[in-house]
């Protein structure tokens, strides 16, 4: 069994040899997932509103409240049509996420969830911590009462968006009006206490230090020790295009920096089972190599994505291509649900193992030897 590492050891990892860190993260992945399965989900990211009063400097997606030209809140019928399309594609879940819209009362969210669950058999993975803090403020309710009302209306789990870097020095610089570190943690802690599972995320490469990243990792690990409510950890790099912050930090995170951060997350976050490789921001090639740097999941086929693409990154794939990407790397692809249970009928032929005859090195070795 791998040992829990300290903060200092994690800092040292960032300065160590990438190849060695990759092998160490891969060994932990194998320990936690000895079946050699790499999972994916078919779901849809529906951004129900882009109106937002948080004005984050890294965001190219939002429009200010009152913007009648480009601002929107989707009519429920449009949302339902998107859910139907998702179900037709074999989808099992919906990720509803939007801006911190000050004009939507809690009844809007309750009615939407109730109607969704009445019409469809679909997992509702909805509303990131900043939206929930905003929603609770608008409704003048505590986070606990807000979550209870939404859960009773049909909320199944909560996405980890809006974490960026969980350090208030960074948050004050890049998103001063958004929820604080403690507010983000409190939403997830309260959700876990109420029995709602959530994911944890990180957006890095926005001018933070390694100490800031370690504060983030440590806060996630400590919270996971309390209730074990995080299903997964997902990190991705800041996408600078079309954003105010991108004018100051225009350099994109490289594949090597991405893989290092992901591998350290796998090693440090010893109490989180699933680490997701972010092909959506890094491309399918790096996403595939990430499977040798601690990841055991590749997330969604991304039927729809508006936030990262607004910042200039537009990677897309199909289920077939994603399964091929997984099997060509030497793993068994398996469709999962939002809560990481495997779908019984997911081994349907396209997922045979396709390691080229005579291949002498893993994709991880190929990239670090390049
Ligand atoms: S990242 Fe989210 S909270 Fe921040 S401005 Fe964009 S939509 Fe609003």
Segment-wise mean pLDDT, segments of 10 residues, the chain, 370 residues: 91 96 98 96 95 95 96 97 93 96 98 98 98 98 98 98 98 97 98 98 96 98 98 95 87 94 98 94 93 96 65 72 95 97 61 30 29
Distance CA 145, CA 358 (A): 59
319 contact partners, CB below 8 Å, separation of at least 6:
40, 42, 89, 90, 301, 335, 350
Write down the pLDDT at residue 338: 97
Write down the pLDDT at residue 304: 64
Q: What is the CA radius of gyration of the chain?
A: 20
What are the structural domains, with CATH classification, of the chain? 7-369 (3.20.20.70)
What letter does residue 99 receive in the DSSP assignment? -
| Protein residues with CB under 6 Å of any ligand 1 atom | 52, 54-56, 59, 61-62, 99-100, 130, 175, 178
Atom of ligand 1 nearest to the CA of 53: 8
Please report how the helices 106-119 and 76-88 are oriented relative to each other, as an axis angle in degrees rounded to 10.
Answer: 40
Distance CA 158, CA 11 (A): 30
Beta strands 93-96 and 123-126, pairing class: parallel
**Quick check: 268 and 217 in contact, CB under 8 A?**
yes
Determine the residue of 50, 60, 62, 206 to mutate for testing ligand 1's pocket, defined as the one with the most ligand atoms within 8 A of the Cβ atom: 62
**Residues facing residue 111 across a β-bridge:** none
> How far apart are the CA of 364 and the centre of ligand 1, in A?
34
Write down the pLDDT at residue 361: 32
Residue whose tokens read 């937002």:
52
Determine the residue of 46, 47, 54, 307 to mutate for testing ligand 1's pocket, defined as the one with the most ligand atoms within 8 A of the Cβ atom: 54
Tell me which residue of 232, 267, 358 sits closest to 20, measured CA to CA: 267
**Quick check: 286 and 258 in contact, CB under 8 A?**
yes
Determine the straight-line distance between the first and last CA of the chain, rounded to whole angstroms. 31
């Amino acid at each position: 069994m791998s040992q829990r590492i300290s903060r200092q050891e994690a800092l040292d990892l960032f300065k160590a040899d990438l190849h060695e860190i990759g092998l160490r993260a891969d060994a932990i992945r194998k320990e936690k997932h000895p079946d050699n399965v790499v999972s994916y989900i078919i779901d849809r990211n529906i951004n129900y509103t882009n109106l937002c009063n948080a004005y984050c400097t890294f965001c190219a997606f939002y429009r200010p409240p009152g913007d009648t030209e480009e601002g929107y809140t989707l009519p429920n019928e449009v949302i339902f049509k998107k859910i139907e399309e998702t179900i037709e594609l074999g989808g099992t879940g919906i990720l509803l996420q939007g801006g911190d819209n000050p004009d939507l009362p809690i009844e809007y969210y309750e009615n939407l969830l109730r109607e969704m669950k009445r019409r469809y058999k679909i997992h509702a993975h909805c509303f990131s911590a900043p939206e929930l803090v905003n929603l609770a403020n608008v409704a003048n309710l505590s986070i606990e009462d807000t979550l209870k009302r939404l859960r009773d209306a049909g909320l199944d789990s909560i996405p980890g968006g809006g974490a960026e870097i969980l350090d208030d020095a960074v948050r004050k610089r890049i998103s001063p009006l958004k929820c604080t570190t403690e507010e983000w943690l409190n939403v997830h802690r309260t959700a876990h206490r109420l029995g709602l599972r959530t994911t944890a995320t990180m957006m890095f490469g926005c001018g933070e230090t390694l100490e800031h990243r370690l504060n983030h990792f440590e806060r996630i690990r400590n919270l996971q020790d309390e209730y074990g409510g995080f299903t997964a950890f997902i990190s991705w790099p800041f996408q600078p295009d079309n954003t105010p912050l991108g004018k100051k930090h225009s350099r994109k995170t490289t594949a090597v920096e991405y893989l290092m951060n992901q591998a350290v997350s796998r090693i440090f976050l010893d109490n989180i089972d699933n680490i997701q490789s972010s092909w959506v921001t890094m491309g399918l090639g790096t996403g595939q190599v990430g499977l040798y740097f601690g990841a055991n999941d590749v997330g969604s086929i991304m039927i729809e994505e508006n936030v990262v693409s607004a910042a200039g990154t537009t990677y897309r794939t199909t289920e077939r291509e994603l399964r091929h990407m997984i099997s060509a790397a030497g793993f068994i692809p398996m469709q999962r649900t939002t809560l990481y249970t495997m779908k019984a009928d997911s081994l349907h032929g396209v997922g045979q193992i396709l390691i080229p005859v005579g291949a002498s090195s893993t994709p991880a070795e190929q990239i670090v030897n390049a």
